[in-house]
A and B are shown apart, each in its own frame.
With several copies, the nearest count.
Chain A
Amino acid sequence: MTDLNKLYKQTILEHNRNPRNFGKPESWTHHAEGLNAICGDLVNVYLTIEEDVISSIAYDGESCAISMASASMMTEFIKNRTVKDALEKFELFCQLMAKGSDVKHIDDLAALNHLVTVKKFPSRIKSATLCWHAMAAAINGQATATTE
């Protein structure tokens, strides 16, 4: 199977068909939008943080399949983690996806590791990390995260 098929078939399309935690919730405590300046991708991330725990998380926006699937995966993965833990996982995920780095797998990231195939399409790495930047921005009280 080509990288292209692997990327889309295995990892992405399933989440696109059955997005988890998609849609704007009725209430939240933290929110940020993620903007990809170059292509106009937009993801909103909504968090409810109670006593330092992310008790609920949702997303919406208009964005490509990679970005949407990554957000869907992220919400599943982050829900019920502490804020500190979430920010640590954000760092790990950025390392995994960093252009140029050879990291292929990070134990702590479990299912998210499939997304590493995106690195074969360098211009799309930002699609995969956009929601994560928005999540971190929301926690840090920033309204907007951009991936230049």
Chain B
Amino acid sequence: MLNNKNYRDQFPGLHQEVHGKPLVYLDNAATAQRPQVVIDAINDYYVNHNANIHRGVHSLSESATDLYENARKSLAKLLNAPSEKDLIFVRGCTEAVNLVAQTFVRSRVQKGDEILISHLEHHSNIVPWQLLCEQTGAVLKVIPMNDAGELCLEQLDDLLTDKTKFMSVVHVSNALGTINPVKEMVAKAHAKGVPVMLDGAQATPHLKVDVQDLDCDFYTVSGHKMYGPTGSGVLYGKAEHLEAMPPYHGGGEMISKVTFESTVYNAVPAKFEAGTPNIAGGIGLGAAAEFMMSIGLENIEQRDAELKSYAEQALLTVPGLRLVGNAKHKSPVFSFVIDGIHAHDIGTIIDHHGVAIRTGHHCTMPIFQYFGLAGSCRASFAFYNTEAEVDVLVGALKKAIAMFE
């Protein structure tokens, strides 16, 4: 069992006041707090190993390179990737999706081909495909969802046609918390020969992810959502794809030989990592991965389940509150609306009680179009949140309602 109190102590950002009230941070799906070990790893690089990586023969550059490459190994372990060479460091999930769209997919699609996404996607997994469709004449298809906020999987086989060249779906919805049955979806797509990318932005903070077991072709990780630094993330890709794909950015590191006439690209993953990367960010993300493994993903999953059931019951005691999305499998993320009060007003009011939630469309406008809503309030939990914080949230919501009466 997870000793919640001990872990809370390790997150300095949790221990502060907002408007004179103790902070209740329930905006974890937007970005998580970072544990001291992550902040220390960043500091340690800047103070003791501050150098550029890969290119230097001097000692600082060597040790910085080791730290960075060890971080890649930690991430490979977290995701159970076959090799750390299958991981490309990126700024976050958004860059990862754009990278795959503009390299792997762009080199394979022609006019009339189809790209399949789902109704649950974050804008990051919609707009890059719209741009690609504009550029290539490909067509965007969407797996529909139902009133519970679950995907209509019975339609998947029909949506996977001869023209489908790629499928990209979210593992866990940031807006509704829905956990999609991605292993089954990958299998269905593969049965039709369609490669699959999974958007893992909201999955890695909560679930044990095994890319080999999922058998996905690509998997995206957002560092800042899994307790790591901002501007960090990784893209996992099957080795055969990474080898075959054209490069993304041109620049230093990603080449082995440059003349003005021609250029020989470097081996994977360097081929996709042009320029000086976010070195401190990568190192901090490695520390976050090690931190999560030291807690144990099964412990995090268990704690999530406890918080989820407590929060769900507590929220339903708020008069006029309606939950948006109630998938059978979901993460501790709650989208809700309250009769007669706009989400932004609720957000502003409960902030004055120290409670940080997100309001609006959460970068998933199509989901809210489906429900005929402009947006929602979203309370999203991490394993370090407590039942007492749920109570503060509920109390604050009741005060907001009182104010509007």
Contacts and interface: CB of A to CB of B under 8 A. Distances in A.
B256 A35 contact: yes
A121 B346 CA distance: 13
Contact of B54 (A38, A41, A42): A38
B57 interface: yes
Contacts of B264: 35, 144, 146
Interface stretch (A1-9, A89-97, A102-110): A1-9
B345 A37 contact: no
Given A39-B57, A39-B375, A123-B56, A64 B266 contact: no
Given A64-B343, A121-B348, A123-B61, A39 B359 contact: yes
Nearest to A124: B348
Contacts, number: 77
Given A5-B403, A123-B62, A146 B266 contact: yes
B177 interface: no
A63 interface: yes
Given A38-B360, A40-B375, A64 B255 contact: no
Nearest to B346: A64
A124 B349 contact: no
Contacts of A144: 256, 264
A40 B256 CA distance: 8
Given A66-B345, A123-B61, A41 B374 contact: yes
A40 B366 CA distance: 12
A13 B404 contact: yes
A9 B349 CA distance: 12
A126 to B, nearest CB: 10
A127 interface: yes
Contacts of B57: 39, 121, 123-124
Interface string B51-84: 0001111000110011000000000000000000
A62 B374 contact: yes
Contact of B352 (A4, A122, A148): A4
Interface in A24-72: 35, 37-42, 62-68
A8 B375 contact: no
Contacts of A148: 266-267, 270
Contacts of B360: 38-40
Contacts of A66: 344-345
B256 A146 contact: yes
A37 B266 contact: yes
A39 B54 CA distance: 9
A124 B344 contact: yes
Contacts of B61: 123
B257 interface: yes
A144 B343 CA distance: 23
Interface of B is mostly: mixed
A122 B64 CA distance: 12
Contacts of A37: 255-257, 266-267, 270
**B interface, size bucket:** 20 to 34
Contacts of B359: 39
Interface string A108-148: 00000000000001111001000000000000000010101
Contacts of A41: 344, 374
A35 B257 contact: yes
Contacts of A8: 345, 349, 403-404
B190 to A, nearest CB: 30
B55 A65 contact: no
A148 B69 CA distance: 13
Interface in B322-381: 341-345, 348-349, 352, 359-361, 365, 368, 374-375
A13 B349 CA distance: 14
A39 B267 contact: no
Nearest to B57: A123
Nearest to A118: B348
B292 to A, nearest CB: 24
A15 to B, nearest CB: 13
Contacts of A40: 360-361, 365, 368, 374-375
Nearest to A9: B403
Nearest to B69: A99
A60 B181 CA distance: 40
A146 B267 contact: yes
Nearest to A33: B257
A127 B57 CA distance: 11
A64 B361 CA distance: 13
Given A4-B352, A37-B255, A146-B256, 8 more contacts: A37-B267, A38-B55, A41-B344, A63-B374, A65-B342, A121-B57, A122-B62, A146-B266
18 contacts: A8-B345, A9-B403, A37-B255, A37-B256, A37-B257, A37-B270, A38-B55, A39-B55, A39-B361, A39-B375, A41-B344, A66-B345, A121-B348, A123-B57, A123-B61, A124-B348, A148-B266, A148-B267
Closest 8 CB pairs of A and B: A37-B256, A39-B360, A64-B344, A64-B342, A40-B361, A62-B374, A148-B267, A123-B57
